[in-house]
Amino acid sequence: MANAKITMEELRAKSAKAVKTATTFEKSPTLDLKMEMEVIFQVKKVVSGKFKDQKGNPIDLVIATDARLVEDGKLVSKDLAGYLQDGLQGPRTATTVKAGTDFRVPNFVVTRFAEQGIVFHPGYVYGSKYVDDKKTPAGTMKRASAYALGTEYPDA
C-alpha cells in the first residue's frame, strides 16, 4: 500500500485538530460514592501527568461511563449522586450523574487501583466498593476495594 502524500494545509489542519483534542478538557462530575456502595464502570479516558492528589503526588484523572451499582446481587443502571468541584480545595456543588453518562472516578478509588498495581485502560470494565473510613494521625482515610473485570460487564 503506497503512502498518500498530504499538503501542508492538510498537515496544519490535522495538527490543529490534534492539539485541540489534546488540550480540551470537558469537566465531568465526580461520582459521590457512599459507604458500602459497590459500582462497576467502563473506563472512557485516562489523563496522566497533569493532576496531583491532596498530598501533591501525581494521580491519573479517570473518566468512566455507564456506572452500574451492585444491588441485591444484580447490576442496576440508575442516576447517582455526584459533584462538581473547581480544583482540589474548591467548593463542591451537588449534581446528578445520569445513568449511562460520563463521570470522574473519585481520587480515593483511583489511588486504590494504583496501590494494587491495576492499570486503567480505556474500554475496560472495573469495579470498586467503598468499604469504610479509617482514622489516621493525618486524618480520615477512605478505603475501597479495587478489581478489574475485562472488556465486558458481568452477567448478573
> Is the model's pLDDT at 154 over the cut of 70?
yes
Q: Bigger pLDDT: 57 or 148? A: 148
SS3 143: strand
Q: What is the dihedral of CA 109, 54, 62, 94, to 10 degrees?
A: 80
Closest to 125 (Cα-Cα) out of 59, 39, 48: 39
Enclosing H/E stretch for 80: strand 80-85
pTM of the model as a whole: 0.74
SS3 152: coil
Which amino acid appears at position 44 of this protein?
A: K
Task: Supply the Cα-derived Rg of the chain in whole angstroms.
Answer: 18
The backbone region for 55, taken as left when phi is positive above 0, alpha when psi lies in -120 to 50, beta otherwise, is alpha
Q: What is the helix, strand, coil percentage profile of the chain, to 5?
A: 15, 45, 35
Q: Bigger pLDDT: 81 or 143? A: 81
Closest to 28 (Cα-Cα) out of 79, 107, 84: 84
Who contacts 16 (Cβ-Cβ below 8 Å, separation ≥6)? none
pLDDT in tens, 76-128: 999 999 988 876 677 888 899 998 889 999 888 888 888 889 999 999 999 99
CA angle 46, 50, 55 (to 5 degrees): 105
pLDDT in tens, 26-37: 578 888 888 888
